Amino acid sequence: MSSSIQSNLETILTTISGYECTLVAVSKTKPNELILEAYDAGQRDFGENKVQDLVAKAEVLPKDIKWHMIGHLQRNKVKYIVPFVHLIHGVDSEKLLKEINKQASKIDQVINCLLQVHIASEDSKFGFSEDELNELLVSGRLNEYAHVSIKGLMGMATFTQNMEQVGEEFARLKKVYDQYDMQTLSMGMSGDYLLALEKGSNMIRVGTAIFGKRNL
Protein backbone atom coordinates (compact mmCIF):
# COMPACT_ATOMS: atom_id res chain seq x y z
CA MET A 1 0.00 0.00 0.00
CA SER A 2 1.37 3.39 -0.94
CA SER A 3 0.38 6.52 1.02
CA SER A 4 0.06 10.02 -0.37
CA ILE A 5 3.29 10.93 1.40
CA GLN A 6 5.07 8.16 -0.44
CA SER A 7 3.65 9.16 -3.80
CA ASN A 8 4.51 12.83 -3.12
CA LEU A 9 8.07 11.77 -2.35
CA GLU A 10 8.24 9.67 -5.48
CA THR A 11 7.03 12.60 -7.60
CA ILE A 12 9.63 14.94 -6.14
CA LEU A 13 12.46 12.41 -6.49
CA THR A 14 11.52 11.92 -10.13
CA THR A 15 11.41 15.67 -10.70
CA ILE A 16 14.87 16.22 -9.18
CA SER A 17 16.49 13.07 -10.55
CA GLY A 18 18.63 15.05 -12.99
CA TYR A 19 20.28 16.96 -10.13
CA GLU A 20 22.94 15.93 -7.65
CA CYS A 21 21.18 17.00 -4.46
CA THR A 22 20.01 16.02 -1.01
CA LEU A 23 16.32 16.21 -0.26
CA VAL A 24 15.60 17.26 3.32
CA ALA A 25 12.01 16.32 4.18
CA VAL A 26 10.79 19.13 6.44
CA SER A 27 8.68 17.34 9.03
CA LYS A 28 8.09 20.26 11.41
CA THR A 29 4.69 20.06 13.18
CA LYS A 30 4.11 16.58 11.70
CA PRO A 31 3.63 13.50 13.90
CA ASN A 32 5.98 10.55 14.03
CA GLU A 33 3.60 8.24 12.10
CA LEU A 34 3.87 10.46 9.04
CA ILE A 35 7.64 10.73 9.36
CA LEU A 36 7.79 6.94 9.45
CA GLU A 37 5.82 6.74 6.22
CA ALA A 38 8.50 8.78 4.51
CA TYR A 39 11.19 6.77 6.29
CA ASP A 40 9.67 3.52 5.02
CA ALA A 41 9.90 4.93 1.50
CA GLY A 42 13.66 5.35 2.02
CA GLN A 43 13.83 8.98 3.14
CA ARG A 44 16.57 9.56 5.75
CA ASP A 45 17.13 13.32 5.95
CA PHE A 46 14.50 15.21 7.94
CA GLY A 47 14.29 18.87 8.94
CA GLU A 48 12.82 20.46 12.06
CA ASN A 49 12.71 24.11 13.11
CA LYS A 50 12.18 23.75 16.86
CA VAL A 51 14.78 22.34 19.21
CA GLN A 52 12.25 20.59 21.49
CA ASP A 53 10.57 18.88 18.53
CA LEU A 54 13.82 17.75 16.95
CA VAL A 55 15.05 16.27 20.24
CA ALA A 56 11.73 14.57 21.03
CA LYS A 57 11.54 13.00 17.58
CA ALA A 58 15.20 12.01 17.46
CA GLU A 59 14.86 10.19 20.78
CA VAL A 60 12.15 7.82 19.57
CA LEU A 61 12.55 7.55 15.80
CA PRO A 62 15.11 5.32 14.00
CA LYS A 63 18.71 6.17 14.77
CA ASP A 64 19.83 6.30 11.14
CA ILE A 65 17.74 9.40 10.50
CA LYS A 66 19.83 12.49 9.80
CA TRP A 67 18.24 15.43 11.60
CA HIS A 68 18.60 18.90 10.14
CA MET A 69 17.96 21.97 12.27
CA ILE A 70 16.53 24.41 9.74
CA GLY A 71 14.99 27.13 11.89
CA HIS A 72 16.37 30.04 13.82
CA LEU A 73 18.45 28.61 16.66
CA GLN A 74 18.68 30.38 20.01
CA ARG A 75 21.99 30.18 21.77
CA ASN A 76 20.51 28.92 25.05
CA LYS A 77 19.07 25.88 23.25
CA VAL A 78 22.23 24.78 21.47
CA LYS A 79 23.21 22.42 24.28
CA TYR A 80 20.06 20.33 23.83
CA ILE A 81 20.51 19.80 20.15
CA VAL A 82 24.19 19.00 19.66
CA PRO A 83 23.92 15.29 20.54
CA PHE A 84 21.24 14.73 17.88
CA VAL A 85 21.79 17.07 14.98
CA HIS A 86 23.40 16.12 11.66
CA LEU A 87 23.50 19.62 10.18
CA ILE A 88 22.56 23.06 11.50
CA HIS A 89 21.39 25.19 8.56
CA GLY A 90 20.70 28.54 10.15
CA VAL A 91 23.93 29.73 11.74
CA ASP A 92 23.43 33.46 11.49
CA SER A 93 25.95 34.98 13.89
CA GLU A 94 29.44 34.38 15.16
CA LYS A 95 28.08 34.31 18.73
CA LEU A 96 25.93 31.34 17.79
CA LEU A 97 28.89 29.65 16.13
CA LYS A 98 30.92 30.16 19.29
CA GLU A 99 28.19 28.57 21.42
CA ILE A 100 27.85 25.58 19.07
CA ASN A 101 31.61 25.12 19.29
CA LYS A 102 31.52 25.28 23.09
CA GLN A 103 28.68 22.77 23.49
CA ALA A 104 30.12 20.43 20.85
CA SER A 105 33.50 20.44 22.57
CA LYS A 106 31.83 19.36 25.84
CA ILE A 107 30.64 16.16 24.17
CA ASP A 108 33.75 15.90 22.02
CA GLN A 109 31.95 16.15 18.68
CA VAL A 110 32.28 18.22 15.55
CA ILE A 111 28.99 19.75 14.43
CA ASN A 112 28.30 20.39 10.75
CA CYS A 113 26.96 23.86 10.08
CA LEU A 114 25.80 26.06 7.25
CA LEU A 115 26.13 29.81 7.46
CA GLN A 116 22.84 31.51 6.68
CA VAL A 117 23.10 34.38 4.26
CA HIS A 118 20.47 37.09 4.06
CA ILE A 119 19.39 37.13 0.41
CA ALA A 120 15.73 38.19 0.72
CA SER A 121 14.50 41.74 0.37
CA GLU A 122 12.52 41.40 3.62
CA ASP A 123 14.52 42.29 6.70
CA SER A 124 12.61 39.74 8.79
CA LYS A 125 14.78 36.88 7.59
CA PHE A 126 17.91 36.08 9.55
CA GLY A 127 21.41 35.76 8.22
CA PHE A 128 24.80 37.27 7.54
CA SER A 129 25.00 40.01 4.94
CA GLU A 130 27.37 39.17 2.10
CA ASP A 131 29.91 41.61 3.55
CA GLU A 132 29.72 40.10 7.03
CA LEU A 133 30.05 36.62 5.57
CA ASN A 134 33.09 37.49 3.48
CA GLU A 135 34.70 39.19 6.46
CA LEU A 136 34.22 36.12 8.66
CA LEU A 137 35.40 33.65 6.03
CA VAL A 138 38.61 35.49 5.17
CA SER A 139 39.39 36.46 8.77
CA GLY A 140 40.76 33.05 9.72
CA ARG A 141 38.65 33.16 12.91
CA LEU A 142 36.83 29.98 11.92
CA ASN A 143 40.02 28.10 12.80
CA GLU A 144 39.30 28.92 16.44
CA TYR A 145 36.17 26.81 16.30
CA ALA A 146 37.60 23.32 16.14
CA HIS A 147 34.30 21.66 17.02
CA VAL A 148 32.41 23.25 14.17
CA SER A 149 32.72 22.25 10.54
CA ILE A 150 31.37 24.80 8.08
CA LYS A 151 29.97 22.78 5.20
CA GLY A 152 28.42 25.57 3.20
CA LEU A 153 25.72 28.19 2.96
CA MET A 154 21.98 28.39 3.38
CA GLY A 155 19.56 30.99 2.11
CA MET A 156 15.87 31.78 1.97
CA ALA A 157 14.45 33.79 -0.88
CA THR A 158 11.87 36.53 -0.49
CA PHE A 159 8.31 35.26 0.04
CA THR A 160 6.86 36.39 -3.28
CA GLN A 161 5.20 35.07 -6.41
CA ASN A 162 7.82 36.95 -8.43
CA MET A 163 9.93 33.99 -9.55
CA GLU A 164 12.31 36.24 -11.44
CA GLN A 165 13.26 37.93 -8.18
CA VAL A 166 13.56 34.58 -6.38
CA GLY A 167 15.80 33.27 -9.16
CA GLU A 168 18.03 36.34 -8.92
CA GLU A 169 18.38 35.90 -5.16
CA PHE A 170 19.34 32.23 -5.58
CA ALA A 171 21.83 33.11 -8.30
CA ARG A 172 23.43 35.71 -6.06
CA LEU A 173 23.88 33.21 -3.25
CA LYS A 174 25.37 30.68 -5.68
CA LYS A 175 27.90 33.30 -6.74
CA VAL A 176 28.95 33.87 -3.12
CA TYR A 177 29.12 30.10 -2.55
CA ASP A 178 31.38 29.64 -5.58
CA GLN A 179 33.97 31.97 -4.08
CA TYR A 180 34.71 29.45 -1.36
CA ASP A 181 35.62 25.81 -1.18
CA MET A 182 32.38 24.42 0.25
CA GLN A 183 30.23 21.32 -0.25
CA THR A 184 26.68 22.28 0.55
CA LEU A 185 24.39 24.98 -0.77
CA SER A 186 20.99 24.72 0.93
CA MET A 187 18.34 26.66 -0.94
CA GLY A 188 14.88 25.88 -2.26
CA MET A 189 11.57 24.94 -0.60
CA SER A 190 8.26 23.49 -1.82
CA GLY A 191 7.41 26.48 -3.98
CA ASP A 192 10.79 27.07 -5.55
CA TYR A 193 13.01 24.00 -5.28
CA LEU A 194 13.27 23.37 -8.99
CA LEU A 195 14.26 26.97 -9.60
CA ALA A 196 16.81 26.68 -6.77
CA LEU A 197 18.30 23.55 -8.35
CA GLU A 198 18.55 25.29 -11.70
CA LYS A 199 20.45 28.08 -9.93
CA GLY A 200 22.92 25.66 -8.36
CA SER A 201 21.44 24.41 -5.09
CA ASN A 202 22.50 20.94 -3.94
CA MET A 203 20.27 20.66 -0.88
CA ILE A 204 16.56 21.42 -0.85
CA ARG A 205 14.27 21.68 2.17
CA VAL A 206 10.78 20.52 1.24
CA GLY A 207 7.86 20.25 3.66
CA THR A 208 4.42 21.04 2.25
CA ALA A 209 4.99 19.25 -1.06
CA ILE A 210 5.69 16.02 0.86
CA PHE A 211 3.53 16.17 3.99
CA GLY A 212 0.77 18.55 2.90
CA LYS A 213 -0.20 21.85 4.46
CA ARG A 214 0.67 22.63 8.05
CA ASN A 215 -2.09 23.82 10.37
CA LEU A 216 0.17 25.57 12.85
- Residues 107, 163, 208, 212: which binds ligand PLP (CB under 6 A)? 208
- Cα separation, 12 vs 90, in Å, equals 24
**Amino acid found at 154:** M
Closest CB 216 distance from ligand PLP, rounded Å = 11
User: With respect to ligand PLP, which residue has the nearer C-beta, 121 or 179?
Assistant: 121
Handedness of CA 181, 163, 126, 55 (dihedral sign): negative
Q: What is the rounded radius of gyration, in angstroms, for the C-alpha atoms of the chain? A: 17
Whole-angstrom CA distances from 34 to 6, 25, 84, 211 are: 10, 11, 20, 8
Nearer to ligand PLP, 107 or 194 (CB): 194
Site string for ligand PLP, 73-92 (x = CB under 6 A): --------------------
Least distance to ligand PLP, CB of residue 30, Å = 10
The count of residues interacting with ligand PLP (CB under 6 A) is 14
25-41 per-residue burial string, b: 16 or more CB within 10 A, e: under 16: bbbbebeeebbebbbeb
Helix (H, G, I), strand (E, B) or coil at 124: coil
Which member of 51, 71, 96, 126 binds ligand PLP (CB under 6 A)?
71
Binding mask of the shown chain, residues 1 to 30, with x at each position contacting ligand PLP by CB under 6 A: -------------------------x-x--
Cβ at position 146, least distance to ligand PLP in Å: 27
Instruction: Specify the residue, 10 or 135, whose C-beta has the smaller distance to ligand PLP.
Output: 10
- Confirm if 115 and 150 have CB atoms less than 8 A apart: yes
Residue 115 interacts with ligand PLP (CB under 6 A): yes or no: no
Q: What is the DSSP letter of 179?
A: T
Q: Which residues bind ligand PLP (CB under 6 A)?
A: 26, 28, 49, 70-71, 156, 189-191, 205-209
